[in-house]
Amino acid sequence: MKQNIVEQIRDSVDILDLVGDYVPEIKRAGTYYKACCPFHKEKTPSFTMNPDKGLFYCFGCQTGGDIFDFIMKMESLSFNEAVRKLAERAGIDWHQEEIMTEEERARLKLYKLMDFAKEFYHKQLFSERGAQARNYIKSRSLTKETVEKFALGLSFFDGLTAAALKAGFTIEDLKKTGLVNSNKNDLFKNRVMFPILNHRGETVAFGGRVLDDNIPKYLNSPDTILFSKSRVLYALNFAAPAIRKEGRAVLLEGYMDVIAAHQSGVANCVAPLGTSFNEGHAKLLRRYTDTATVLFDPDTAGQKASKRTALILLEQGFYVTVATLPEGLDPDEYIIKYGADSFKQITQTGKDIVTYQLDSFLNGAATISAKEKSEFATEIMDIIARQQDKIIKAEWLALAANRLGIEQSILLDNLKNKPKEKVYKEAAAPQVKKENLFKGFLPAEISLLRIILKYPAYVGLCDELQNTPLSKTQVGVILKNVALLYSENADGFGLTQKLLQALPQLKEFILELLVKEIPQGLKPKVEIPNLIKRIEEFYLQKRYKELQQQLSSYGPGQVPLALLKEQIEIQKKLKSK
């Protein structure tokens, strides 16, 4: 049963489609495909996929495996969670509880509670008592489709707790999901409810906006085992396809801004939730694009947040621009007044962060004191120092020097005296060292393995190699195992899987062999004997040289006959080849 589902999923999920959800672009490279690795930072693609085998392998960080390995690593899932997720993706119906662990079952129950709450709040919005909330939604010009898409709802002063208990959930469940306060009452009271979905589309939290004068104006669920503020961006589940398509993400300040943007068709917009944008958000976003526009409120707090956000993005390797809307308008107000096209235009332009900072500093005050200028120069150099791209860095330095009227050398001196601090501390990214796994092997040996893995039926042709020193290397071990598995009727993907299971210590080695396809039209019947001949010759010549060296150490008449005989036999064999 379990095996069946795994096989079924494997047959229906295409690795290119799956990986395509996480990387900006997949390129064809011969018979295989390449993308920039989502597991380590890189500019030239070394993440390779073989769609026929459903395998991937990164030559940069040497991560590899099948669709299950990929999704487990990408989403930090257990194997069972990965099966569940991929089964849902493939539309395969199965009884997930059967293969779940106790912990996963508990989590699933909490997800069900969140869905229950979402529906409960949504229904209340359309109840008789919901008129005030509906008027508020109307006043923000939200359409019926938008209300449905974002599953907006309404909380009254009570009701959810009782309803959830009646539906079979416990107070413990309600506590774990943050839906009740410490008095075991509904946390959200008299608020318009915004379900918060993670990037996988699971409801993990709620945001609530007051309908009266209560504070806080916006209230979010606390962090729970399902929800971490610093790892969720509002509407990313809806925005992801547009972000990939446009090659750009737009960061807005709140959920109303995001909803208005999506409603107007500008769908690459997301927002952090009740917390300032942080490194976790930047990393999440980096799975989809490397270009971002920050569009926050033009007030002082908004400007400060823009700068901080831009710096965090810059540190994660983004190209960042900062955009502002005129007349102090919110995105939804702007869209109503000037239309979606104009709004979209603004999100696509914007100023780079240095220009933005210079403009707001120089245009902000009538006179600038020397001290203010010095402080600002330190600040702007701190930004410039974070730029990885040397050309952009040089351009920015020239721009800052020019507009501040300070020589570049003085700005640079100032920078050297200040230690560079990170806006957001992070563990140093693991140094990815690329080591050639095939070092020390003959190209012919590697080619032979590749062909045999594709055409295991020909493994018998390699038998004679088992008498060469090759039998003791990885190459020999793999050949021997393929022969064994093939004799047990394993073939195709099943054989590859069993081989990886049988030789876990050679996983990287085997994956690296598998991802690179062998040339099309190659005739294994012809090519294999050729390669075997070359390999045998190599080992014979090697042995011949060894013998030569040994023999030369003996004086005349002392040469052991056995060695001499072996050398002559090798000579004969080499001639006959």
Q: Which residues contact 564 (CB under 8 A, 6 or more apart)?
A: 551
CA-based end-to-end distance of the chain: 53
Question: Nearest approach, Cβ of 63 to Zn ion (angstroms)?
Answer: 5
Query: CA 425, CA 355: separation in Å to the nearest integer?
Result: 25
- 40 is an interface residue for Zn ion by CB under 5 A: yes
The CB-of-18 to Zn ion minimum distance in angstroms stands at 16
Nearer to Zn ion, 48 or 309 (CB): 48
For the bound state, the minimum distance from the C-beta of residue 316 to Zn ion, rounded and expressed in Å, comes to 16
In angstroms, give the least distance from the CB of 512 to Zn ion.
Answer: 12
Q: Please list every residue from 150 through 189 that binds Zn ion, using CB under 5 A.
A: none
Nearer to Zn ion, 69 or 253 (CB): 69
Task: Look up residue 362 and give its two tokens.
Answer: 């120089």
Q: Within 13 Å and on the Cβ side, how many CA atoms surround 544?
A: 14
Instruction: Establish if 384 lies at the interface with Zn ion (CB under 5 A).
Output: no
Using CA atoms, how far residue 91 sits from 87, 161, 257, in Å, is 6, 33, 33
Nearer CB in complex with Zn ion: 40/149? 40
Residue with tokens 């560079």: 420
Integer Cα distance of 3 and 493 in angstroms: 14
Length of the chain: 577
Taking CB under 5 A as the binding criterion, the range among 55-63, 158-166, 178-186, 296-304 that sits at the site for Zn ion is 55-63
The answer to whether residue 73 forms part of the interface with Zn ion (CB under 5 A) is no
Alpha-carbon gap, residue 577 to 562, rounded angstroms: 23
Q: How far is the CB of 70 from Zn ion (least distance, A)?
A: 12
- Residue appearing with tokens 């080695």: 509
- Cβ contact 188:219 at 8 Å: yes
**Would you say 42 or 253 has its CB closer to Zn ion?**
42
Torsion, Cα 551 554 556 562, to 10 degrees, reads: -50
Instruction: Read off the tokens for 561.
Output: 């006959």
Nearer to Zn ion, 69 or 352 (CB): 69
Minimum Å gap between C-beta 41 and Zn ion is 9
Site map (CB under 5 A) of Zn ion, residues 220-239, x = contact: --------------------
Question: How many other C-beta atoms can be found within 10 angstroms of the C-beta atom of residue 302?
Answer: 16
Distance CA 324, CA 572 (A): 82
In the complex with Zn ion, which residue's Cβ is closer, 68 or 70? 70
Query: Which of these segments, 52-60, 307-315, 318-326, 434-442, binds Zn ion (CB under 5 A)?
Result: 52-60
- d(Cα 403, Cα 101) in Å, to the nearest integer? 62
Window of 36-44, 338-346, 464-472, 495-503 that interacts with Zn ion by CB under 5 A: 36-44
Name the residue nearer to Zn ion (CB basis): 44 or 520.
Answer: 44
* Contact status: 39 vs Zn ion (CB under 5 A): yes
19 binds Zn ion (CB under 5 A): no
Q: Is position 61 an interface residue for Zn ion (rule: CB under 5 A)?
A: yes
By C-beta, is 58 or 485 nearer to Zn ion? 58
Task: Report the nearest approach of Zn ion to the CB of residue 464 (Å).
Answer: 38
Separation of alpha carbons 234 and 274, rounded Å: 10
Under rule CB under 5 A, residue 37 binds Zn ion = yes
Compute the half-sphere exposure of residue 268: CA atoms within 13 Å on the CB side of its CA. 23
Strand (E) or helix (H) holding 220:
strand 218-220
Name the minimum Å distance from CB 559 to Zn ion. 55
- Answer yes or no whether residue 267 interacts with Zn ion by CB under 5 A: no
Q: Please say which residue, 246 or 512, places its beta carbon nearer to Zn ion.
A: 512
| Residue 424 makes contact with Zn ion by CB under 5 A | no
- Give 151's contacts (C-beta < 8 A, 6+ positions apart): 118, 122, 195
Phi, psi angle pair for 202, to nearest 5°: -95, 140
Instruction: Quote the CA–CA distance of 321 and 306 in Å, as a whole number.
Output: 10
- Of 51-59, 147-155, 197-205, 219-227: span binding Zn ion (CB under 5 A): 51-59
Query: Would you say 397 and 412 are in contact if contact means Cβ atoms under 8 Å apart?
Result: yes
Q: Which is nearer to Zn ion, 58 or 325 (CB)?
A: 58
Give the interface segment with Zn ion, choosing from 38-46, 274-282, 454-462, 561-569 (CB under 5 A): 38-46
The one segment of 53-61, 255-263, 330-338, 454-462 that binds Zn ion by CB under 5 A: 53-61
Query: 65: Cβ–Cβ under 8 A, 6 or more apart, which residues?
Result: 55, 56, 73, 507, 511
Nearer to Zn ion, 61 or 448 (CB): 61
CA distances from residue 54 to 7, 31, 358, 486 in whole angstroms, order as listed: 12, 13, 50, 20
Q: Which is nearer to Zn ion, 40 or 534 (CB)?
A: 40
| Shortest Å distance, C-beta 46 to Zn ion | 6
Cβ at position 200, least distance to Zn ion in Å: 22
CA distance 109 to 187: 19
Q: Assess 287 for contact with Zn ion (CB under 5 A).
A: no
Separation of alpha carbons 172 and 180, rounded Å: 10
Task: State which residue, 39 or 94, has the beta carbon closest to Zn ion.
Answer: 39
Least distance between Zn ion and beta carbon 412 (Å): 35
Residue 58 interacting with Zn ion (CB under 5 A): yes
Q: Which residue sits closest to Zn ion, CB atoms considered?
A: 37
User: Largest Cα–Cα distance of the chain, in whole Å?
Assistant: 114
Measured from the CB of residue 69, what is the shortest distance to Zn ion in angstroms? 13
In whole angstroms, the minimum distance from the beta carbon of 37 to Zn ion comes to 3
Q: How many residues form the binding site for Zn ion (CB under 5 A)?
A: 6
- The alpha helices in 329-487, defined as continuous H runs, are 331-338, 340-348, 353-364, 370-386, 390-404, 408-416, 443-454, 474-487
Q: Counting contacts by CB under 5 A, is residue 23 touching Zn ion? A: no
Residue 60 in the binding site for Zn ion (CB under 5 A):
yes
Closest to Zn ion by CB, 226 vs 437, is: 437
Tokens of 464: 């004679």
- Cβ at position 284, least distance to Zn ion in Å: 17
* Positions in the binding site for Zn ion (CB under 5 A): 37, 39-40, 58, 60-61
